[in-house]
Amino acid sequence: MLDSIVKVITGKVKLRGATDGTLIGNTGDSLKVTTSGDVVIGSLFSYAGLINMAASTLDNPMLLISNPSNSGKTLIFLRLAVNTTSTNQSTYFNIWANPTVTSNGTSVTINRRQVGGAATSVALAYTLPTTSGGLLLAEFYNAINTNTEELILPARTITLLPGNKLLLTGQSSQNNRTAVVTLVWEELSI
């Protein structure tokens, strides 16, 4: 849509909300367009890894993403893809907002998506946290896993403001099954 309004952009730009004129992004942020045509203002980050779903009878907390209250950034989730490494099993995956966290779990590395860039993520990421409760935002069920990647979060449908957390949980029909998880997000100055 942007290309139908603006034909050439050079330098830095300011984007404002259509209804209230609110400035979108920091005036120092560069406007970027990804290869898929998405307009990106902030910096891109990701987590990718293997996470165990230990018990088949539980909704296993797998990945916790936290946006610290003093971050000054909004996290906008662009992609969440999950898969399991075994066939002939059913799997459930859920996305929760602001669960009660008893233990963060194991801290994991967050990767820059701008290779060679200097940006550092404000987010904190942990695998296998101990949690309870929260607000269910999305759920996904795959009856028979055929080792095909499953995209369970459409781009830009969940944002995480400072002081909030996002949790991915999973349940397999068999104990000790490994999930392959990729989560990509943009961090936008507020």
- So what's the pLDDT on residue 156? 80
Biggest distance spanned by C-alpha atoms of the chain: 55
pTM of the predicted structure, to 2 decimals? 0.76
Look at residue 66 and tell me whether its pLDDT is greater than 50: yes
Look at residue 10 and tell me whether its pLDDT is greater than 50: no
DSSP state letter for 28 = T
**pLDDT of 34-43, one tens digit each?**
555 556 567 8
Look at residue 73 and tell me whether its pLDDT is greater than 60: yes
Average pLDDT over residues 58-84: 92
- So what's the pLDDT on residue 95? 93
**pLDDT of 147-173, one tens digit each?**
555 667 777 889 999 999 999 998 887
- So what's the pLDDT on residue 3? 47
Look at residue 54 and tell me whether its pLDDT is greater than 80: yes
Burial of 165 (0-12, 13-18, 19+ CB in 10 A): buried
Give me Rg for the CA atoms of the chain: 18
**What is the C-alpha separation between 7 and 20, in angstroms, rounded?**
24
**What is the C-alpha separation between 67 and 125, in angstroms, rounded?**
9
**What is the C-alpha separation between 25 and 22, in angstroms, rounded?**
9
Structural domains in the chain plus CATH codes: 1-41 (no CATH), 42-189 (2.60.120)
Taking all residues of the chain, what is their mean pLDDT, rounded to a whole number?
A: 80
Length of the chain: 190
Look at residue 89 and tell me whether its pLDDT is greater than 80: no
